[in-house]
């Protein structure tokens, strides 16, 4: 803290010192340990809203209002940051889609004004659209430099979350190739708890969540539940039944229940989504940008219906963030936004029902 000597009434001196004090100083002196009571109230039921800084702010605000109307108690703001390629440090690089701290704070404030709790879910993407790699395949040339940039980025976000009183920060998303760096993740979590007293979570890919060895340091483990509902090489144009879809989910349900029997860390689905437009449900993480047909809207409906039939009451999760709302192109139903009222009703039913587990 910078101290300025000023003569005058004692009350004035106290006021001036408070005005110039570091808002994070008290947090830095009293870090929260993972053994302390969790700052999170479960279940966490919400909707992911994508925030693209190139959009008009009205688009984000409209999506938040829709999410609240559907019954969301939580809004997970997902924001994209970028690196040049899969190997380089020196990130995040400038990108117009990434919000500034001020823009992000305004978005958080709007969600709070609607009476919803906020989770911040930053994702680190490769800026080159022609890259054959995705964020689960980072292989830094100089890991120490790369990790230093990552840690600084996370600390900056944690400080934004502290100032805005955000209750949940996701500190990594689908970084599969780096999840085995347990010592680095543990050190980062310890650093973040010095500047941020809210909940910390990590969001893993559907096929790599069991490789997380630092989960005991977290307040929750997140899973992006894009489980394939049919075999990738299944015959094209063959109709698939609801029973087939649900059968493909049952082994994942069993694995999660087994894990939960021997681990105390709460588990939520940080993303559950099905594309409104795609060839089939063999790879729910992929979608097409062409306009959606009614048939494809039914496919999205079948995906959500199957997931909730299997995991809705029997799953070990303590919350779900449905993925996602992004009204960037009202003329097209591409992406993951639910395209018919029956899908929206599945979301609403879960979000509004009482938690029984």
- Its pTM stands at 0.87
Structural domains of the chain sorted by starting position, each given as residue range(s) with its CATH number in brackets:
40-352 (3.20.20.80)
pLDDT of residue 280: 82
pLDDT of residue 329: 52
- Kindly tell me the sign of the dihedral angle through the C-alpha atoms of 78, 33, 357, 227: positive
Burial grade of 20 (CB within 10 A; 0-12, 13-18, 19 or more) = exposed
Helices of type H across the chain: 10-20, 25-29, 57-70, 101-113, 143-163, 182-195, 242-261, 294-311, 341-352
**82 Rama class: left (phi>0) / alpha (psi -120 to 50) / beta:** beta
Contact predicate 336/294, CB 8 Å: no
pLDDT of residue 297: 84
pLDDT of residue 240: 84
Could you report the average pLDDT of every consecutive run of 10 residues in the chain (357 residues)? 38 37 38 62 97 96 98 98 97 98 99 98 97 97 98 99 98 98 99 98 97 97 97 72 95 96 96 87 80 69 96 92 83 73 96 77
pLDDT of residue 286: 82
- Helix pair 294-311, 242-261: axis angle to 10 deg: 40
**90 Rama class: left (phi>0) / alpha (psi -120 to 50) / beta:** left
Pairing of strands 220-224, 74-83: unpaired
- Residue 83: its H or E element: strand 74-83
Q: How far apart are CA 249 and CA 125, in angstroms?
A: 28
pLDDT of residue 48: 98
Q: Coil, strand, or helix at residue 326?
A: coil
Contact predicate 219/266, CB 8 Å: yes
Output Rg (C-alpha) for the chain, integer angstroms.
21
């Amino acid at each position: 803290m910078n101290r300025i000597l000023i003569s005058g009434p004692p009350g004035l001196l106290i006021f001036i010192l408070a005005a110039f004090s570091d808002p994070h100083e008290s947090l830095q002196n009293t870090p929260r340990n993972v053994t302390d009571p969790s700052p999170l109230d479960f279940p966490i039921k919400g909707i992911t809203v994508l925030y693209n800084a190139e959009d008009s702010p009205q688009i984000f605000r409209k999506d938040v209002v829709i999410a609240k109307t559907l019954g969301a108690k939580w809004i997970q703001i997902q924001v994209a940051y970028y690196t040049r390629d899969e190997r380089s440090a020196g990130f995040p690089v400038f990108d117009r889609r990434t919000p500034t701290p001020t823009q992000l704070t305004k978005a958080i404030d709007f969600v709070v004004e609607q009476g919803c709790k906020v989770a911040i879910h930053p994702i680190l993407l490769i800026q080159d659209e022609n890259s054959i790699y995705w964020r689960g395949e980072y292989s830094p040339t100089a890991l120490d430099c790369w990790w230093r940039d990552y840690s600084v980025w996370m600390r900056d976000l944690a400080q934004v979350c502290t100032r805005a009183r955000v209750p949940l920060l996701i500190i990594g998303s689908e970084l599969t190739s780096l999840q085995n760096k347990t010592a680095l993740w543990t050190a980062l979590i310890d650093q973040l708890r010095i500047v941020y007293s809210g909940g910390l979570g990590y969001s893993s890919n559907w096929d790599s969540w069991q490789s997380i060895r630092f989960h005991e340091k977290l307040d929750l483990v997140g899973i992006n539940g894009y489980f394939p509902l049919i075999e990738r090489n299944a015959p094209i144009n063959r109709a698939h039944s609801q029973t087939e879809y649900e059968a493909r989910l049952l082994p994942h349900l069993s694995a999660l229940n087994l894990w939960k029997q021997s681990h105390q860390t709460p588990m939520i689905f940080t993303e559950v989504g099905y594309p409104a437009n795609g060839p089939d449900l063999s790879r729910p993480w992929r979608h097409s940008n062409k306009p959606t047909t009614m048939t494809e809207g039914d496919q999205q409906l079948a995906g959500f219906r199957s997931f909730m039939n299997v995991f809705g009451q029997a799953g070990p999760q303590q919350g779900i963030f449905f993925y996602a709302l992004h009204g960037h192109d009202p003329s097209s139903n591409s992406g993951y936004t639910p395209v018919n009222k029956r899908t929206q009703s599945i979301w609403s039913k879960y979000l509004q029902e009482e938690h029984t587990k």
